[in-house]
Amino acid sequence: MNDVAVSLSQHLRAVAAPTGDLALVLGQLAVAGKLVARELARAALSGRLGTTGGINVQGEVVKKLDLWANDVMVQALEASHLVCGMVSEEMDEPLHLPDRCAQAKYVVCFDPVDGSSNLDVNGVVGTIFSIRPKQGRGADHLKADAMQPGSAQVAAGYIMYGPSTMLVCAAGRGVDAFTLEPTIGEFIRSHEKIQIPSRGHIYSVNEARAPVWQPGILRFVDYLRAPDQATGRPYTARYVGSMVADLHRTLLEGGVFLYPAEAGEDGKSSGKLRLQYEAAPMAFVVEQAGGKASTGSERILDIHPTSPHQRVPVVIGSRDDVALAEEFVAGRH
Ligand code: FBP
C-alpha cells in the first residue's frame, strides 16, 4: 500500500470541489461497485449466474447479473439526489426522475456489466460510467441531455472486477486508479495520474471477425503482426473479450484496442460498442491519460449521438498507434 493511503472520497473532495456534488455522485458509483463486486464473488453460489431468458434492446441475451447490477446502479444514483436522468445498456429508454429535476445536476450513462460473455466463466467484467451535466428541465430535455457528445462529460471511468476490484476515474484532472481494500471496504488510490505510453507493443481485437473488417483495419493489423525490429514489430495480441479489461491493460501498458466497423450483411457496420456508455467514457479516460480515441477516422468525443444505444467503431489507446491506424483507414499508409 502507498505510504500515505489516499481514499477515493478524500481524492474526490479535492478534484470535485467546490460543490462536492460530483464527488457525491462518484461516491455512489463506488458504493454500487462494491455491491456488484461482492455479488460477483459469490454469484455461482447464490444462483445469480446464467440468463434471465430475456433479450435487451440491443438484441442480446440478458444475464441475471446484468439486470441485478442495473438495479443497483439505478438505486445508488437515485440516492444521490443529484441525478435526474440515466441511460443504461439494460434499459430500452432513458430513465427520467422528474421529482429530482429541481436539484439534480447530472445525467449518467452506464453499462452495469461490461463483458457479460465472461460472467458465467468467472472472467473479468466491469461497470462503465459517464457523467454529463444536466442542461435543461423536464423529460424533453432529458433526451437532449443524454445525447450530449462525449466532450461534454464532466467525469467518466470504470470499475473492473478482476483479481482485485479497481475503480479508474477521470474528472478533468488526469486519471487515477483506486484499489478496493477488502479488509476495510475502502477504495485506496493505487495509481496516480496515469499516463498511457505514446506507443505500445500489444494489439487487442477479436480476430475471428477479420473477414468482415474494413480493408484499412485489416492492413493495419497485418502491419502490426509483421516482424520488423526497427519499428518494434511484431506486436503481440491480447483479447479478454471485456472492453474494461482490454482497455485497462492498454491504459497501463500502451498499444491499441479495436472494435472496428464491419462490412457485409450481418456485419456490424457501425462496430459493436455503444457510444454513450462504452466508447465515449473510455475515450474520455484515455484522452485524459494522453492517449487517443477514434472511430478510425473521427475523434469519438466529437460525435453527436442520434440515439441512446448508438454503436460506433472504436480504435483507442496509445497516441501513435491510433494515429497510425487512422493513416491505414484513410489509405495513406
Ligand atoms: P456487453 O456490454 O454486452 O458485455 O458487450 C460489450 C463487450 O462485451 C465488450 O466488453 C467487449 O469488448 C466486446 O463486447 C466483445 O465482443 P465480441 O465477443 O464480439 O468480441
Quick: pLDDT tens for 51-96.
988 887 778 888 999 999 999 999 999 999 999 999 999 999 999 8
Residue nearest to atom 12 of ligand 1 (CA): 243
Determine the pLDDT at residue 143: 79
Determine the pLDDT at residue 1: 46
Residue nearest to atom 15 of ligand 1 (CA): 241
pLDDT by residue (tens digit) across 136-176?
A: 655 567 778 889 999 999 999 999 999 999 999 999 889 99
Residue 283: pLDDT over 60: yes
Nearest-angstrom CA–CA distance, 4 and 329:
46
Angstrom CA distances, 223 to 204, 234, 262, stand at 14, 8, 19
Closest CA to 164 of 248, 76, 259: 248
Residue 114: pLDDT over 70: yes
Determine the pLDDT at residue 26: 96
Nearest-angstrom CA–CA distance, 119 and 50:
8
The chain-wide mean pLDDT, for the chain, equals 93
Return the minimum-mean-pLDDT range out of 195-199, 224-228, 265-269: 265-269
Most confident residue range from 48-57, 111-120, 128-137: 111-120
Average pLDDT in the 128-143 region? Answer: 81
Question: What is the side-by-side strand order in the sheet with 95-96?
Answer: 95-96, 83-88, 106-114, 125-133, 155-161, 165-170, 175-181, 186-191
pLDDT band at 248 (very low <50, low <70, confident <90, very high): very high
Nearest-angstrom CA–CA distance, 147 and 277:
11
Average pLDDT in the 178-186 region? Answer: 96
Determine the pLDDT at residue 18: 61
Question: What spacing in Å lies between the alpha carbon of 118 and ligand 1's midpoint?
Answer: 9
Is residue 304 within 8 A of residue 318, CB to CB? The reply is: no
Determine the pLDDT at residue 5: 85
The two beta strands, 202-204 and 256-259, are: parallel
Determine the pLDDT at residue 264: 65
Ligand 1 atom nearest the C-alpha of 272 is 14
Cβ atoms < 10 Å from Cβ of 285: 28
Closest CA to 83 of 105, 113, 55: 105
Question: What spacing in Å lies between the alpha carbon of 214 and ligand 1's midpoint?
Answer: 19
Residue nearest to atom 16 of ligand 1 (CA): 241
Question: What spacing in Å lies between the alpha carbon of 116 and ligand 1's midpoint?
Answer: 7
Nearest-angstrom CA–CA distance, 128 and 150:
14
Determine the pLDDT at residue 58: 76
User: For residue 68, which amino acid is it?
Assistant: W
Angstrom CA distances, 129 to 25, 56, 118, 156, stand at 11, 19, 19, 6
Q: Which residues line ligand 1 (CB under 6 A)?
A: 60, 89, 111, 114-117, 206, 241-243, 259, 272
Residue nearest to atom 8 of ligand 1 (CA): 115
Ligand 1 atom nearest the C-alpha of 206 is 20
Question: What spacing in Å lies between the alpha carbon of 312 and ligand 1's midpoint?
Answer: 13
pLDDT by residue (tens digit) across 1-20?
A: 455 689 999 998 887 666 68
Average pLDDT in the 253-268 region? Answer: 84
Determine the pLDDT at residue 51: 93
HSE-CB at 261 with a 13 A cutoff on CA atoms is 17
Is residue 292 within 8 A of residue 319, CB to CB? The reply is: yes
Q: Look-up: residue for cell 454503436?
A: 311
Determine the pLDDT at residue 166: 98
φ/ψ (deg, to 5) at 152: -85, -5
Q: Which three cell numbers stand for residue 302?
A: 466529437
Residue 140's Cβ-count burial label (10 Å; 0-12, 13-18, 19+) is exposed
Which domains, from first to last, does the chain contain? 8-191 (3.30.540.10), 202-329 (3.40.190.80)
Q: Where are the alpha helices (DSSP H) in 154-279?
A: 215-225, 243-253
Q: Which residue among 61, 73, 272 has the greatest number of ligand 1 atoms within 8 angstroms of its CB, and so is best to mutate?
A: 272
Determine the pLDDT at residue 17: 60
